[in-house]
Structures are given as structure tokens and as C-alpha cells.
């Protein structure tokens, strides 16, 4: 497991895969904290003064130390984290952002993934009106206790270079710390959230959305409708229309945005297919074991 070419091997048995805790113990802490700061805390870290950035790094280091020292369950026999590409469109700039995250899959997902990837018979495809089945839903682990998440197996093999492997570990850390960076506080918040989710099903019918009538709404609308001095009649009309949500769409820009949305969707579909193909190759070794 310590060999430098471990991730280049295709014949590693499932039971020999390292756990998330093992990788957090042996990885370079400075590089991992750097990946978390750059990928998960990008906006906040960029705006922070040096003193604040040092405090953020110290807090991340304390959380990592707690994860490394935590007594965990036995290594999982069915759960595995794998890197997965994600693409997102920034509407304002039109830029497509690519990230590598750690997604959780279970060996029980293998059959559903196999059906989604395998091309159906021609007659069945015509009858259903679609070319393939949907992929299995992504499994979140923000509500899982740290003791459970740290016992997940991890497979970082594939076309990933060093920076991307650290991105995947940073993503797993970020998912685990969704409710905070202190173990005791996370447990309390996870328990509260689980209770809220159990009550949501019963209470959802009686709840109503926010009425949007906050005390500052009028002032906000006026601020949004501010017309610069010297504006033309056309600019005045455009500003006021924008304030009331009545701005005319720009077809030129709208078509460009729609094309980018379709492209991002295709990239994410392809990335999902590649993710499940890598998982199926791994799952076959796990079943064989």
C-alpha cells in the first residue's frame, strides 16, 4: 500500500484498499489544507486577511488531527469513495469550472449502475423512448458519523494526478465537516438534522413558503431601481424594468447561455458514466473477494 505505484495498479483487491482515515494520516497535511483552502474555502480565503487565513488553517489542522486520532469502526466491506469530475457553469462570466470530488458508492449500487451503462436492446430502447436508464442517485455522507465515514474504502486509481487526488480528499473532508469542525458539535448537529428530516415529511404539507414581505423589501426595490444621473430614457426604462423583474431577455446572450448549459450537462453525464465504469471495475473485485 505504501508503494509509489499503488494507484497505477489494476489488480488491488477491494479488501486491501486504504480507508479514508489511513489516507488522511499518511497524506501531506500542508498540501491537503492548501487544497481545502483553494477548492472549498476559495471565496472566503481570498477575502480574508493574513491573520484570518492563519486561523482558518489552524482550525482545519485541528479537525484533521481529530479525524486521524478518532477510534473508527472496522474498514467498510461495502462502501467506497472514488474521485468524480464535476462541471459547473458560471452564468455571469460564461466560464465552465471543473472540479474533482469524492463520491460515495456502495457495492449494492453495482447492478443499477450496470443497467444504466449497458445499452438496451433496440426494441426496448424504442419502447421506452430513451437510450439508457438513469444512474444511481449520489449517496451523501454529511449525516454519517465521522467514525463511519473514516472507515470507507478509498480508490484513487485512474487518470488522476497528485493535485486531483488531494482535491478528492479535500472534498471528502469538506463533506464530513458540513455541520462543523469539532467532533462533538458535529454529532449534536447531525442528530438535530436527522430529527428535522424525520419531522419534515409530516410538517411539509402545513408549511408555507416565505411571504417575501420583509421590512427592507421596499428599500431594496428602490435601490435596485436607482437610475444614474444623465441616463437616457431607454436606460431609465431598462433599469426600472430590471428592478421589477421585467427586463427583456437578450436572445444573443440567452442562446449562448443555453448552449453552455447543454454542454455542461453533457460533460456531467459523461463524467457520471466514467465514474460508474470505474466503480463497476472495482465492484467486480469486491464481489470476487
Distance CA 36, CA 56 (A): 10
Provide the pLDDT confidence category of residue 126 given band limits of 50, 70 and 90: very low
Would you state the cell numbers that stand for residue 28, as one nine-digit string? 501531506
pLDDT of 153 above 90: yes
Distance CA 108, CA 110 (A): 5
Mean pLDDT score, 191-205: 76
Distance CA 279, CA 283 (A): 6
Question: 27: number of CA atoms within 13 Å, CB side?
Answer: 29
Q: Return the bridge partners of 87, or none.
A: 98
Would you state the cell numbers that stand for residue 23, as one nine-digit string? 489516507
pLDDT number for residue 122: 52
Q: Strand (E) positions, 207-259?
A: none
Phi then psi for 151, rounded to 5 degrees?
-90, 0
**Hey, how many other C-beta atoms are within 10 angstroms of the C-beta on 55?**
12
152: nearest Cα among 16, 19, 17, 10: 19
Element spanning 101, H or E: strand 95-106
Give 286 or 170, the one with higher predicted confidence.
Answer: 170
Distance CA 21, CA 83 (A): 16
100: nearest Cα among 162, 41, 57: 162
pLDDT in tens, 208-264: 444 444 444 444 443 444 545 455 556 667 777 777 777 666 677 778 888 888 999
Amino acid at each position: 500500500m505504501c508503494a509509489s505505484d499503488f494507484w497505477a495498479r489494476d489488480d488491488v483487491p477491494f479488501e486491501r484498499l486504504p480507508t479514508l482515515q489511513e489516507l488522511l494520516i499518511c497524506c501531506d497535511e500542508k498540501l491537503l489544507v492548501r487544497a481545502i483552502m483553494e477548492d472549498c474555502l476559495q471565496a472566503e480565503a481570498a477575502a480574508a486577511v493574513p491573520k484570518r487565513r492563519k486561523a482558518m488553517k489552524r482550525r482545519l489542522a485541528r479537525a484533521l488531527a481529530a479525524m486521524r486520532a478518532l477510534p473508527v469502526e472496522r474498514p467498510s466491506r461495502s462502501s467506497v469513495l472514488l474521485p468524480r469530475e464535476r462541471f459547473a457553469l458560471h452564468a455571469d462570466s460564461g466560464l465552465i469550472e471543473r472540479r474533482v470530488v469524492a463520491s460515495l458508492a456502495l457495492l449494492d449500487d453495482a447492478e443499477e449502475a450496470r443497467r444504466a451503462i449497458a445499452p438496451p436492446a433496440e426494441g426496448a430502447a424504442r419502447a421506452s423512448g430513451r437510450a439508457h436508464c438513469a444512474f444511481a442517485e449520489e449517496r451523501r455522507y454529511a449525516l454519517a458519523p465521522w467514525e463511519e465515514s473514516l472507515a470507507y474504502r478509498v480508490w484513487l486509481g485512474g487518470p488522476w494526478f497528485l493535485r486531483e487526488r488531494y482535491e478528492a480528499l479535500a472534498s471528502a473532508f469538506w463533506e464530513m465537516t458540513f455541520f462543523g469542525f469539532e467532533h462533538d458539535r458535529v454529532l449534536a448537529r447531525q442528530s438535530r438534522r436527522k430529527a428535522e428530516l424525520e419531522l419534515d415529511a409530516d410538517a411539509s404539507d402545513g408549511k408555507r413558503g416565505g411571504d417575501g414581505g420583509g421590512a427592507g423589501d421596499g428599500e431594496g426595490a428602490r435601490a435596485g431601481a436607482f437610475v444614474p444621473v444623465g441616463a437616457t430614457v431607454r436606460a431609465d426604462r431598462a433599469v426600472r424594468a430590471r428592478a421589477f423583474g421585467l427586463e427583456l431577455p437578450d436572445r444573443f446572450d440567452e442562446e449562448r447561455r443555453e448552449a453552455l448549459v447543454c454542454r455542461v450537462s453533457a460533460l456531467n453525464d459523461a463524467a457520471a458514466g466514467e465514474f460508474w465504469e470505474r466503480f463497476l471495475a472495482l465492484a467486480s473485485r469486491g464481489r470476487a473477494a
